[in-house]
Amino acid sequence: MKVLVVGGAGYIGSHMVKMLLNANHQVITLDNLSSGHRDAVIGGVFVEGDLADNDCLYRVFEEHKPDAVMHFASFIQVGESVRKPDIYYRNNVTNTLNLLDIMLKFNVKKFIFSSTAAVFGEPDYVPIDEAHPNRPLNPYGRSKLMIEHVLADYAKAFDLRSVCLRYFNAAGADPEGQLGERHDPETHLIPLILQAASGRRENIQVFGRDYDTPDGTCIRDYIHIVDLCSAHLAALDYLVNGGESDRFNLGNGSGFSVQEVLDAVQKVSGKQVKVIDGPRRDGDPARLVADAKRARSVLNWKPVFTDLETIVKHAWQWEIKCLDRASKVSA
Ligand code: UFG
């Protein structure tokens, strides 16, 4: 199939491009490189362009005639979304509507959307299944939930079929060491601890040790980037085989605390990390763990890298590579 990957130069998108190419799909990446990296797109066609540019979208669809679209291009920082809701709604909502418009114009009716666990807000229960109420706590989560509603309406009105995948904590890196996480600024726990272990950062701050969890630190569900991407492939098959629009939670189903992640990084890297105990971060629920049974049963998704040490090992391999690259540049 011809798959248009919007945001294919970013962390998740670039791993997706690699997996699609390995599965013999034709890939067109569209990315404005605002946070992605051109060299992370390892094959297929690359178009530098923006979802706000309707002429560019028209040209991409006219020239490449994709059969399906995967959409990874959004802003993802919760705190920033509170300070700058305008850019979050413009990019995550308005620009996604542009993309859906052009899809309808060209009769492209298969869409896979990167949604988030942030659509749930503070959970009533864990693990969180798809029936859990949606009460997002910030503009980021609300922007994603808005598109989920749009997609449900477009399915009814226009027969545009979609799968929304609610990611819990995407982590890890390409096991072959070719790709990994390169956010700037980095805000995610695992890469920050790895940077502290490699010496690129002085320390790591733990945001709160007084939560109602066994060791007092927050619990999250870390899902390996390869497993996350394989769920998109499974979702593509599902849509190709006539599956109805639906949404699925994507996680491991097992939670790890911030302290457990710290321990795993120190074990895998063999380095001691300087830890500073800080206050709680605003809006952090104590536990976020997915119930991803529906993705396994309906999409036939089979995650393989489910243990934390493997996730950390692959991310550490990538961190070492970044460190080597940085030292070569400065030498
Ligand atoms: N944490 C620290 N110190 C840090 C960074 C994070 O202690 O320097 C803690 C956080 O407080 C949290 C855990 O580590 O308890 C994980 O934090 P991340 O920032 O890595 O990830 P989040 O769980 O906050 O966010 C993820 C996605 C978001 C998504 C959210 C859904 O990155 O895009 O899950 O709830 F919105």
Judged against a pLDDT cut of 90, whether residue 324 lies above it is answered with no
**Across residues 5-21, what is the average pLDDT?**
98
| Mean pLDDT value across residues 302-306 | 95
Q: What is the dihedral of CA 253, 258, 264, 267, to 10 degrees?
A: -170
58 is catalytic: no
117 CB within 6 A, ligand 1: yes
pLDDT, residue 329, reads 63
Position 331 scores a pLDDT of 56
Mean pLDDT over 130-151 rounds to: 97
Work out the percent of the chain whose per-residue pLDDT is above 90: 94
Provide the residue ranges of all domains of the chain, joining segments of one domain with +: 2-171+224-250, 189-220+253-291+305-330
| Ligand 1 contacts CB of residue 206 (under 6 A) | yes
pLDDT at 328 over 90: no
Rounded to 5 degrees, φ, ψ at 6 are -90, 125
Q: What are the tokens at 52?
A: 């706000």
Q: Establish whether domains 2-171+224-250 and 189-220+253-291+305-330 are of one fold.
A: no
Contact yes or no for 227/304 (Cβ under 8 A): yes
The number of CA neighbours under 13 Å toward the Cβ of 312 is 23
Tell me which of 140, 154, 211, 238 is the catalytic residue: 140
CA distance 329 to 195: 17
- 38-58: pLDDT as tens digits: 999 999 999 999 999 999 999
Residue 212 predicted with pLDDT over 60: yes
Task: Give the mean pLDDT of 224-235.
Answer: 98
Q: 3-state DSSP helix/strand/coil percent for the chain, to nearest 5?
A: 45, 20, 40
Can you tell me the distance from the alpha carbon of 254 to that of 290, in angstroms, rounded to the nearest whole number? 8
Is CATH 2.40.10.10 correct for 189-220+253-291+305-330? no
What CATH architecture applies to the domain 2-171+224-250?
3-Layer(aba) Sandwich (3.40)
